[in-house]
Structure 1
Amino acid sequence: MLNRYPLWKYLVLIILLIFSIIYAIPNLYGEDPAIQITGKYSNIVNTQQMEEIHSLLKQKKINTKSLVLTKNHILIRFTNTDSQLSAHETISSSNIANNYTVALNLASCIPAWLAKLAARPMKMGLDLRGGIHFLIKIDMDNILDKLQEQRGEILKNELMEKEITYLSISKFKKTGNMIVFNQGKIDNNIINNIIKLHPELIIKSNNNILYLILNNNTLNKIKEKIIQQNVDVLRNRINKLGIRESLVQKQGNDFIAVELPGIQDTARAKEIIGTTATLEFHLVNNDISPFLIRNHNIPFNSEIKKTSDGNYLLLNKQVILTGDHITDATVSKDLYNQPQVNISLDSTGGKILQNFSKNNIGKLIATLFVEYLDSSKNDSNHEEILQKNETIINIARIQSILGRNFCITGIKNIYEARQLSLLLRAGTLSAPIKIVEERIIGPTMGKQNIIKGLKACCLGLIIPMIFMVIYYKTFGIIVSISLIINFIMIVSIMSLIPGATLTMPGIAGIVLTTAVAVDANVLINERIKEEFTIKKSIQQAIHWGYKGASSSIIDANITNLLTNVILYSVGNGCIKGFAITTIIGILTSVFTSIIGTRAIVNAIYGRKKISKISI
């Protein structure tokens, strides 16, 4: 019999509808103004800090909605933003702020039973929720300069091993090196050896000078790797400090965009993401007298560095190991009750250190702490100039073969040890970064955008529903129900997808897909009417109307879907926000138009002998 759905189909559709409603409900609950307090430098929040904060706020007569201690942070909720800002000022000016990050935030109000079902509201972008946006530029010149130095050391060692004499090796332009040989034509064997060992280099010769330039393909791969490493490190830092729903993504060739929804404290946000520090391990050069060091009369393969107590030491330029190989860093006390940082390396770093220490037992190794600080100066392009600050924080004698685990001692106090361990554990940036743009969107503006977005969605639903009911009567009511279900499904899917973020352009995508759903239903209803004109029965008209319209609807929406998939893959920021809601909306509108409305029509008109329908 025509227009019949088996029971199991109805059950599946009912379960799907209930599922969609449950995971869309959290978006009805608002957010409370809140303050999030997280430990800095390996400090962990506990009941003691919670009691101190409670007493402090009570003393200042600041009312709180709730004060909860979780595993990673303390969350304080307030009934209004005035109380939130007063509490933030009070806590920030107290001693608590010295060891803990105090950040303004927004906390969801969903009930516990929904939280247990992992139901969460949609993630909202800065334009809806408020927060901080940073545009970060990566200092590629610095890392390329470092790579030039490393390549220069490698070339020196290779030429020495081959017993090839040369006059000097220096940097050439931004990505190359220059080798000067004795007067005369350069031996082709030398060039062939270098080509064999360094296929990534373009080699040119001019009399007794050999130019080695990094090819564009390798250069682009290095830049891509540097950006990705910095993205991963920044994301890791933000996650470790308990800031969720953040966005860290590549933008252009040398930039990273960071968005921290709900955070309003710019200074704390800069502290979280802006620290650019790493460790380098160098061999101490004891062959030069202190007198020569003071007069800067040093060999080309060495450089003078300052120790934490103000003295100077000569180190080999060659870096033995960097912080890139560090997998974990914890703080403890040594035998003399002094702070130390326990370092764990990855397998590659462990092998490098093992091989080096095996051949250098009895020699001194220095730990160099490299940090890039704001110099408060700008270059000709009005961009912030970073000042490189290098300090030797530890000198140790290699007593035996080292492995993947070792300790750094000689750190002044426990505070510095905790700061160092946090930076190393969260990851070290592979290149210095500069914050070239910062933008703050307040929660009030975000709230206004949400209200405007809701109005647009409501009007986008109600106006087509009124038209459909007036024009198609009973079938119009069925279409209206399907439009509401379509909207619920979009909201629930957006809430479930981890990477989906709702923005103002995303709301525009939802409104647009409502129009797509209306078009599909208009096409179905008009096809049913056409079937009546050729004298088919009501049941046959419904059946062939849906069958005829379905293929046209699917074909039209596949092209639309492909367009938005391309838009999502090549777009950034708000473009992705528009594309993701449009993609979800297209899929749900096709489903509700073809299957959803058909189920309702079958339930009303199926298995019945009817002489007239309202369409």
Structure 2
Amino acid sequence: MSKKIQKNIIRINHYPAWKYLIVVAVVIIMFFSALPNVYSFDDAVQIKENGNSNIPILKIQNQLKSDGIDSTKITDTGDTITVVLRNRDEQTKAKSILAKEYGENRVALASVPAAPKWLLDMGFDPIKLGLDLKGGVEFLLRVDMNSVFKEKSERLGNDLEQTLNKEGLNVRTKTESPTSFTLQYQVPEAEVAVQEMMAKNYPEWSVKNLPDNTLNISLMPNAQKSMTEKVVKQNLTIMRDRINQLGITEANVQIQGTSRILIQLPGVQDPSDAKKIIGATASLYFYQVVPNGSENSQVLYNNDKQPVTVSNTPVITGTSIQSASSGYSQNGQPEVNLVLDSEGGDTMSAFTRDHIGQPMATAYVDYGIDAKGNMVKKTRIINVANIAGRFASRFQITGINSPKEAQDLALLLRAGSLSAPVLVDSEKTIGPQLGAENIKNGLSALVLGMVMTLVFMLLWYRKLGWVANLALVVNIICLIGLIGLWPGSILTMPGIAGIVLTVGMAVDTNVIIFERIKDNMREGRTLAQAIDRGFQSAFGTIFDSNFTTLITAVVLYAIGNGPVQGFALVLGLGILTSMFSGIFTSRAIINLKWGKDSRRDIKI
């Protein structure tokens, strides 16, 4: 019996070797994950190599040096050349110089990790900084769904009118709102035909009878909601493509609310070009030119304000364009070279085959704001030409005012036409100096909080205070390392606030444990017994309090966006690292130092 009791006493505060190995391994991995943040990022310009010819590094260095731009390092990975700049203020200028030589599509602004290659080869990168820490531009865009609904409603009304009039049923449609229109008929057969057609082909539209032989046709609320979700997601994808075309590699683009898109461009200080491209709604429509007064026709105007009568329905639109590039025609005029997708190519091939010798008009379509603040569609004919022969997926368009307009139009067409026009609700620019100041203030708050906490723990808990302080350092290392490993994580000012809050939470864990140990020693137990019972009794309290806080962090992350999500992520990860450092790391150290101490009157 005595041997059994002795065996149990020896096993108090005992960690098997594998537990120590796990604690040490986790701390080492998190240390290496956090280490790249000491070096942060370098501002750079990247050039994509086209595979046909290698660009001499010395040539790039001399080009920049001749314009007074110093580079600290130029590396070639085979498909990309990265030029690291000494001064971040010269990044945009360097991009412009290299873009003139190698092409806009191949040159991009970038931030590359400044950590040593051996550390990067291990798969560890520094944490990306948000707009408030790095500086840059933020746009909040509102997708104008009324334009989408109105266009869909008018198209449906025109289709119904054309189909029924061809059958001799004589109906007329009139737009009442963006999501509804009325249809007037003269004979009962027309009403029956409309009801059958709508039920069969357009179930998302409701039909109601009104007085005077009139039907009201409106888009159902559920259909409006699903269409809004689809269009906003399509616009989000196109926005990302456009930003990539601009050569910005670290943009944050996300949906905010039901019909808004938040775009953050870290490092961009001149928002004019970005705003022009991101918010542009320009596209091309190709119409058949018809005689004046033709049925189902419309009158548009060219650059000289001359009227051109075209069909209501375009042959193809910008959505069929797969690729576009700007250039010059044989006459030296700016032009855009187009490549259509397979469906668009088939449609264009069939149309040009059947209309050789007839004119086709190219219309430039854009959206603008009128004097009342409403979004209006602006269409102008930029080119009218006779179809000389059948063509399909590759052709050129001319009639563009300037080479810059041709370049911008080609960029927009490459990235894709927006599914709906957008309005810039708000625009915010944060300078790099303000971002640097935010970093300095955030780090100062973190250091001050840690120093005050470390001093308090040393004065109040003496020897155990050293353990708590070591655990606190481990906690900060693990938290920064874990944030660096989290996919897509971006550190913002609220994230730094979360790190500062984690310092207090980590110490709170140790305070609870140490107070339990002191309570057990007052009851006459040995130090080893007090440590064992202290950790056991404190675990439930620590787990419950941290678990409830973790639930709050998960909810914030799920329903929040932007900075709120950043704070919630750091808070949640901080809870996990606090429990790891406060319970497991502290316990491992205390077990090794005092785990077998049988004294009762010791003060630690």
The one of 161, 169, 182 equivalent to 1:156 is 161
Instruction: Tell me which residue corresponds to 1:8.
Output: 18
Deviations 1:172-218 (A, max 9, x none): 21211221111679745643542343222232222211111112221
Q: Which secondary structure does the structure 2 equivalent of 1:318 belong to?
A: coil
Distance of aligned partners of 1:367 and 1:531 in 2 relative to their CA distance in 1, 3 Å threshold: farther
Alignment of 1:167 onto 2:171: yes
Letter in 1 for 2:581: T
Residues 1:179 and 1:332: Cα distance change in structure 2 (over 3 Å):
same
Query: Within 2, Cα distance between the matches of 1:309 and 1:38?
Result: 41
TM-score using structure 1 length: 0.82
Match of 1:177 in 2: 181
- Which residue of 2 is the match for residue 19 of structure 1? 29
**Alpha carbons 1:166, 1:179 under 8 Å: kept:** no
Decide whether the 8 Å contact of 1:340 with 1:417 is kept in 2. Answer: no
CA contact (8 A) 2:531 2:595 kept: no
The reply to whether residue 298 of structure 1 matches residue 298 of structure 2 is no
| Alignment check: 8 A CA contact 1:177 1:212 kept | yes
* Equivalent-residue separation in structure 2 for 1:136 and 1:46 (angstroms): 41
2-structure distance, mates of 1:525, 1:5: 19
* In structure 2, C-alpha distance between the alignment counterparts of 1:242 and 1:59, rounded to whole Å: 23
| Correspondence list, 1:531-570, <5 A | 531-570=520-559
| Alpha-carbon distance, 1:235 to partner | 1.5
Counterpart-to-counterpart distance in 2, 1:429 and 1:71: 34
Of 141, 148, 155, the residue aligned with 1:143 is 148
What is the root-mean-square deviation of aligned Cα atoms in Å?
4.1
Aligned to 2:311: 316
Q: 5 Å matches for 1:470-481?
A: 470-481=459-470
Q: Judging changes above 3 Å, is the alpha-carbon distance between structure 1 residues 441 and 178 closer, same or farther for their aligned structure 2 residues?
A: same
C-alpha distance in structure 1 between counterparts of 2:452 and 2:30, whole Å: 24
Check 1:331–1:106 CA distance in 2 against 1; reply closer, same or farther (3 A cut): closer
What secondary structure is seen at the aligned counterpart in 2 of 1:276? coil
Q: Is the 8 A contact 1:202 1:215 kept in 2?
A: yes
Q: Distance in 2 between matches of 1:325 and 1:2?
A: 73
Question: What CA deviation, in whole Å up to 9, does each residue of 1:424-456 have, x standing for no partner?
Answer: 442321122233432221111111110110011
Structure 1: distance between partners of 2:464 and 2:366: 67
Amino acid at match of 1:343: L
Is the CA contact (8 Å cut-off) linking 2:472 and 2:503 kept in structure 1? yes
Q: Work out the CA distance in 2 between the residues paired with 1:447 and 1:11.
A: 39
Distance in 2 between residues matched to 1:197 and 1:217, nearest whole Å? 17
Query: Distance between the aligned counterparts of 1:339 and 1:193, measured in 2?
Result: 41
1:216 aligns with 2:230: no
1:408 matched residue in structure 2: 395
Residue of 479, 485, 510 corresponding to 2:474: 485
Q: Using the alignment, how far apart are the partners of 1:153 and 1:504 within structure 2?
A: 53
Secondary structure at the aligned position of 1:135 is classed as strand
CA offsets 1:508-540 (integer angstroms, 9 cap, x no match): 111112211111111111122222233333333
Opposite residue 58 of structure 1, the aligned amino acid is K
Judge which range, 559-568 or 330-339, deviates more.
330-339
Q: Secondary structure at the match of 2:298?
A: strand
* Structure 1 unaligned blocks of 5 or more: none
Structure 1 residues 203 and 220, CA, compared in 2 at 3 Å: closer, same or farther? same
Name the structure 1 match of 2:272: 267
Aligned residues of 1:137 and 1:254 also touching (Cα < 8 A)? yes
Asked whether the 8 Å contact 1:91–1:97 carries over to 2, the reply is no
Query: What is the rounded CA distance, in whole Å, between the counterparts of 1:128 and 1:493 in structure 2?
Result: 20
Note closer, same or farther for the CA distance 1:314–1:73 as it changes in structure 2 (3 Å cut): farther
User: Which position in structure 2 is the counterpart of 1:36?
Assistant: 45
For 2:576, the equivalent position in structure 1 comes to 587
What letter is aligned with 1:222?
A: M
8 Å CA contact retained: 1:394, 1:408: no
User: What CA distance in whole angstroms lies between the structure 2 residues aligned with 1:531 and 1:133?
Assistant: 56
Pair 257,359 (structure 1): closer, same or farther in 2 beyond 3 Å = closer
**Equivalents in 1 of 2:199, 2:98: separation in Å?**
62
Q: Secondary structure at the match of 1:137?
A: strand
Asked if 1 retains the 8 angstrom alpha-carbon contact of 2:169 and 2:187, the reply is no
1:371 to 1:602, Cα distance in 2 relative to 1, 3 A: farther
1:379 aligns with 2:374: no
1:112-163 CA-to-partner distances (Å, cap 9, x unmatched) read 22222232211111111111112223233332222123222332355368x3
Deviation of 1:568 (Å): 1.8
Q: Specify the SS of the correspondent of 1:169.
A: strand
Q: Name 1:79's counterpart in structure 2.
A: 86
Following TM superposition, by how much is the alpha carbon of 1:53 offset from its aligned partner in structure 2, in angstroms?
Answer: 5.8
Residue in 1 aligned with 2:339?
342
Q: Is the 8 A contact 1:330 1:342 kept in 2?
A: no
3-state SS, counterpart of residue 409 of structure 1: strand
Distance 1:448 1:131 in 2: 14
Provide the rounded CA distance (Å) in 1 between the counterparts of 2:41 and 2:143: 35
Contact 1:181/1:209 (<8 A) preserved: yes
Contact 2:45 2:95 in 1 (8 A): no
CA 1:553–1:576 in structure 2 vs 1: closer, same or farther (change >3 Å)? same
The Cα offsets for residues 394-430 of structure 1, whole Å up to 9 and x where unpaired, read as: 8758959x7xxx2233457999887655434423211
What is the match of residue 233 of structure 2?
A: 228
Q: Distance in 1 between matches of 2:266 and 2:385?
A: 39
Equivalent of residue 245 in structure 1, options 238, 247, 250? 250
Out of 557, 564, 579, which is 1:575 matched to? 564
Partner deviation per Cα, 1:252-283 (whole Å, 9 max, x = no partner): 4443221111121223323442333334455x
Residues 476, 359 of structure 1: alpha-carbon distance in 2 compared, 3 angstrom cutoff: same
Question: Matches of 2:380 and 2:271 in 1, distance apart?
Answer: 24
Say if 2:444 is the partner of 1:455. Answer: yes
SS at match of 1:536: coil
Tell me, yes or no, if the aligned pair for 2:324 and 2:336 is still in contact at 8 Å: no
Q: TM-score by structure 2 length?
A: 0.83
The aligned amino acid for 1:298 is S
Deviates most, 418-427 or 385-394: 385-394
Please name the residue that 1:203 is paired with.
207
Distance in 2, Cα, partners of 1:92 & 1:333: 21
Q: Residues of 2 paired with 1:471 and 1:21: CA distance?
A: 29
Deviations, residues 292-341 of structure 1 (Å, cap 9, x unaligned): 3xxxx332x22345679998754432245544455566799999999843
Superposition deviation, residue 47 in structure 1? 6.4
Out of 504, 509, 513, the residue aligned to residue 524 of structure 1 is: 513
- SS of residue in 2 equivalent to 1:550: helix
The one-letter amino acid paired with 1:408 is: F
Q: Indicate the larger mover: 188-197 or 596-605.
A: 188-197
Contact 1:334–1:340 (8 Å) recurs in 2: no
Whole-angstrom CA distance in 1 between matches of 2:28 and 2:385: 62
- How many angstroms apart in 1 are the aligned matches of 2:486 and 2:384? 45
The alpha-carbon distance between structure 1 residues 19 and 98, as it changes in their structure 2 partners (threshold 3 A), is closer
* Structure 1 residues 332 and 149: alpha-carbon distance in aligned structure 2, compared to 1, 3 A threshold: same
Matches within 5 A, 1:426-445: 426-445=415-434
Write the distance in 1 (CA, Å) between the matches of 2:387 and 2:551.
61
Letter in 1 for 2:294: I
